[in-house]
Structure 1
């Protein structure tokens, strides 16, 4: 329930978050993050779901991270179930920035395979941050089901998420190298090479992997 009496700066910030001018919304989010107040959390999360400007969304996320996790995490966990894709994506992104592992149960298989690429990418990033110790292999197995999905940016996001899990991904990535789908095989080979050489360029790795698949070579390297 919203209190009837709010101080001047609070009222101005609340109004600023909904201002039609991005510069005003940006300043309002900065002000909220500079002086955190639990009364702002709900509105910050609501604004993340509809904000059109990347820089403003980034500032909204920063403002949320400035509030205590026990206040923000339950609201964000509820938001990952929202109907609007941007609401799910931004909530997941913010959870990855907060890094509170109590949010881990909210990272479901459904989110990791969400039909919206931005939601799925945010879920992958959040998952590798929040996964409890000892559950990395199970996460890698779920992530591997998304190999071959989407265009370059989506594939790169998935590869980075897998690489972040370390050597635990090798069995599932190696298994994917023999998948009937050539896109899955190429993505698996490229990811395997990034594990071996994290400094290599993904574009080079994926193009070389496609050539390998075209030649019919799917076995494991060396």
Structure 2
């Protein structure tokens, strides 16, 4: 079979077939009477083998070794090809993500494109200062796609940069909530914490709904952060978690402040007071926890609280009695 026929049937150009021959990959030994190359069926089979190996990413020199070296073992080369392919996919995926984010920013001209690229690079910089400047700029200068902000916020370890990123996300409104909700469900504890902290700073009913869902999260850190945020938003579902935080001496002052904010609603004030009193009466609660619960009553108005404090002023635990007496004195002085 002549080279033109082989090219048509194999899909390999005549030029490439000649290149294969120059490299010694294919050596058609036959010649026609006119002196043209004539490929045998074995030559054609070898061409298909070459193309099959090339489709796996092998170089032509590697193809030659694979076909001609009897001691050649493919396992190591295949492993190397897998590694190279994964690296290439990672690079291409990163590029695709960057392009999508630039497209989402809806740049009007190339100057806008360059600004977005610069901000994206800043957010991924190893420099803490540069990341912080990028986060602040994204909120007030060039709008960066919220996906990039969420990704940066969920991976940021520096507290100052993290705060700037949360501020930028809060200014973006509800756009990042779906991605942050996914972050709350992450298998990585730090990511879950950063996600719920970010949601806590986003105003509005949609963010509140995400925080309410977070109250049922298996991660106690997530539940506590959500409860603190919900307390300031007037959501009664946060009350049990906030009281538990006071008992467990975990951000107890913040939890008491959140209960006090909730207690601005008279109906909730009575509910909170009743729960605190019930907790104080529980036999398993230790002395320090009872004192903290008594202190928490200071921010809860209403008759239930006043009666409880009057009773607690005679408590067997001197620390509790003194705390209750002091709070009663403050209330009576108003």
TM-score (norm 2): 0.51
Q: Which residue of 1 aligns with 2:114?
A: 8
Shift in CA distance, 213/74, structure 1 to aligned 2, threshold 3 Å: farther
1:147 aligns with 2:246: yes
Cα deviation for residue 213 of structure 1 reads: 6.7
Per the alignment, in what secondary structure is the counterpart of residue 179 of structure 1? coil
Distance 2:183 2:280 in 1: 36
Flag the 1:64–1:169 CA change in 2: closer, same or farther, 3 A: same
Residue in structure 1 matching 2:256, options 159, 183, 187: 159
User: How far apart are residue 120 of structure 1 and its match?
Assistant: 4.4
Partner of 1:24: 130
Query: For each residue in 1:15-40, what CA deviation from the matched residue of structure 2 results, as whole angstroms up to 9, or x when unmatched?
Result: 1111111110011101111136362x
The separation in 1 between residues aligned to 2:319 and 2:166, in whole angstroms, is: 46
What whole-Å deviation, never above 9, does each CA across 1:103-151 have from its counterpart, x for those lacking one? 334333334x8333xx44422222224455xxx2x43234323332145
Q: 1:13 to 1:29 in 2, by over 3 A?
A: same
* Residue equivalent to 2:229: 126
Q: Give the alignment partner of residue 96 of structure 1, picking from 179, 200, 209.
A: 200
Q: How does 1:1-222 map to 2 (within 5 A)?
A: 2=97, 4=99, 6=102, 7-35=113-141, 37=143, 39=145, 41-69=146-174, 71-106=175-210, 107=212, 108-111=214-217, 114-116=219-221, 119-131=222-234, 136=236, 138-151=237-250, 154-166=251-263, 167=269, 168-180=271-283, 181-182=285-286, 183-195=288-300, 214-215=317-318
Distance, in Å, in 2 between the alignment partners of 1:217 and 1:56 is: 42
Structure 2 gaps of 5+ residues are 1-95, 103-112, 264-268, 302-311, 329-334
State the Cα distance separating 1:217 from its structure 2 match.
Answer: 5.9
Higher relative contact order (CA 8 A, sep 6+): 1
Change (3 A) 1:65 1:217: closer
What are the superposed Cα offsets for residues 87-112 of structure 1, whole Å, 9 maximum, x if unpaired? 2223222222222222334333334x
- For residues 38 and 130 of structure 1, do their structure 2 counterparts lie closer, same or farther at Cα, with a shift above 3 Å needed? farther
How far is the alpha carbon of 1:176 from its aligned partner? Answer: 1.3
Task: Tell me if structure 2 keeps the 8 A contact 1:80–1:88.
Answer: yes
SS at the partner of 2:245? coil
Question: Partners of 2:142 and 2:171 in 1: how far apart?
Answer: 6
Bigger radius of gyration: 2
Are 1:48 and 1:60, in contact at CA under 8 Å, matched by a contact in 2? yes
CA change 1:14–1:184 in 2 (3 A) is same
